Structure 1
């Protein structure tokens, strides 16, 4: 992919030729524009042959697994076709790295929706009941995802559910240890890591049912309908796997702005009149049929895992591989997440 926010003329020709081979409407690529968002991946909207598309590919500076992650996204979006899960419809996927040199990509249908951490349009801005329902709608969408039989939709080998929960603490402690390899990183100044890790390891739920896990389910990774409170699409599937879907619910609680600020979000996050955690859990339980009695454990695990993920950007920033201001902001979020985890443990 190019180092700029547009595709080069040669890449546009290659894209058009590839689309011709897929049997998609022909013609020049028109109205190409980057789509801004919280992801490091690149997205562009464009039109071709009278049809609108969104192209998604890896970041400008790809990491070792960038293309593999995008291939997994392609696979899970294809598997969700025809289900009740709101998601961007996959049009065509290119797992081949030679069409756009070095980069895999896929095309999806545009979603008519809005990111509620960036804006809050009408009628949502002036209707408290609608804002309250938005959190419950996120629980509904998550329940729909958890109800999909992963084996039935061809994802039997998409993850390793056996021992999934038991692996989480050692897996993410190892990730945290790996940040020492970043030059200039002073080490994790994160109060509470040992205590949270010990509590999680000693309270692992023994009974759970595997399913598709989004892996990063929060307010910024859904698009809402412009007409009502419904979730129009769950987006950014790069952390998806087969695991315990209740971790997605815990992730939603850990990041839910109804009870705490998160990452400088605006829009719905600062509007008020939001559903409570208790209401979200009850709605999910009603619609999913899953046992949510251990939800405090999943929320603590979400704080633990997300905090370590965000600390990785802080480590890269110390090494000059990310903006220092971003690294400092995400380190503060990590500390806040571990404080939240300790608070949840105290109340469990």
Structure 2
């Protein structure tokens, strides 16, 4: 892993930013986002926003997108999630093709700095591309650069359902959440089927202009991803972790060629979809912010991470996302998708995912919480502790590779 000269990362110089951009070759839109983050880093931290301020900002966005004749009602904060601000509201408007309607909507907006720097435009485009493929909320408008909103954001439809069972209490959704046998039986087949659809959909006609498309038969996809997270470590890390440097070198030497370009959700797990408890139906897939055009094994490795597994009723058999054993998941996925699971690519992506998660938790998470850049500083600080568990998991994966 390349180490740049010591620098004040709270106030990075243009020359240092330019050096990062030369060193790490990410997708064009990712480069733009990371550069924007550094250029704005010396600005103020997060400040609480009043609902009245949010309503006024929404009004400016809507006036620019649909003109007049609308009313914003029932505005309220939505809590949960470690990365983005979310506001629920009802819009009374003349919906194209429908007429006068009261539509439940959600504004999803960045804080001053997030635990993960991602693009609202990319998220907007991916959700729209998935309409009719898997359950997703309708997306309406995007303010990519925060021209109208306090920070960049997008507006999508409010979807019914819960992200975790109500009996799960105050746990962070998806981390240690436990499904009972009835919910497992209902949700698991949909969970597999939806992932298969995402990976096999023909996206050639979709507007995915914010994404670079890697060439099959090359390691371009793997290189873009590795450069992304090495760059974030260089930007945000404040300590030297030799194991991360070892992992980066191993990942660089063993990059797998891409056999098929797929839509990748990149955070496909329990906690990132809504479901209705009364019938166990998945009603909406959320949190597409890390999505990319890439290798399906990134999702497969992420979904089967130990971080998202829980023990079965016997107390010992691990269930991926509290649903099924890993072997059963892969078997069902291959049947549903018609695609094979390549062990070498799967293993590489297990190391890669652990690497990216350690970077997010031990570098970016620590920096944004310490600098007061996020509304979720307490939760983000708590998540940092999980980083060392992931680091240990990455060590185990590297030993398997050796």
Q: Please give the range of the TM-score, normalised by the shorter of the 2 chains.
A: 0.7 to 0.9
Whole-Å Cα distance in 1 between the matches of residues 382 and 180 of structure 2? Answer: 32
User: Are positions 1:317 and 2:380 aligned together?
Assistant: no
Whole-Å Cα distance in 1 between the matches of residues 396 and 179 of structure 2? Answer: 33
How far has the Cα of 1:36 moved from its partner? 1.3
User: Are positions 1:70 and 2:115 aligned together?
Assistant: no
Q: Tell me which stretches of 4 or more aligned residues in structure 1 moved more than 6 Å.
A: none
How far has the Cα of 1:154 moved from its partner? 3.0
How far has the Cα of 1:140 moved from its partner? 2.1
Alignment of 1:1-348 (within 5 A): 3-8=48-53, 10-11=56-57, 13-14=59-60, 17-18=63-64, 20-21=66-67, 26-49=69-92, 50-61=101-112, 69-81=119-131, 83-95=132-144, 97-100=146-149, 103-116=151-164, 127-155=180-208, 158-162=211-215, 163-180=220-237, 185=238, 187-189=239-241, 192-254=243-305, 255-258=307-310, 274-294=323-343, 295-311=346-362, 312-319=364-371, 321=373, 326=379, 328-347=381-400
Relative to the length of structure 1, the TM-score reads: 0.78
Structure 1: gaps of 5 or more residues: 261-268
Relative to the length of structure 2, the TM-score reads: 0.68
Whole-Å Cα distance in 2 between the matches of residues 62 and 213 of structure 1? Answer: 24
Whole-Å Cα distance in 2 between the matches of residues 259 and 324 of structure 1? Answer: 30
Query: Would the aligned equivalents of 1:91 and 1:108 in 2 still touch at CA under 8 Å?
Result: yes
Alpha carbons of structure 1 residues 12 and 152: separation in structure 2 relative to 1, 3 Å: closer
How far has the Cα of 1:89 moved from its partner? 1.3
Structure 2: gaps of 5 or more residues: 1-45, 93-100, 170-176, 313-317
Alpha carbons of structure 1 residues 51 and 274: separation in structure 2 relative to 1, 3 Å: same
Whole-Å Cα distance in 1 between the matches of residues 229 and 179 of structure 2? Answer: 42
Alpha carbons of structure 1 residues 135 and 177: separation in structure 2 relative to 1, 3 Å: farther
How far has the Cα of 1:146 moved from its partner? 0.9
Query: Would the aligned equivalents of 1:55 and 1:105 in 2 still touch at CA under 8 Å?
Result: no
For the residue of structure 2 that corresponds to 1:232, the secondary structure is strand
For the residue of structure 1 that corresponds to 2:328, the secondary structure is helix
Q: How many residues align?
A: 324
How far has the Cα of 1:237 moved from its partner? 1.7
Quote the RMSD (CA, aligned, Å).
3.6
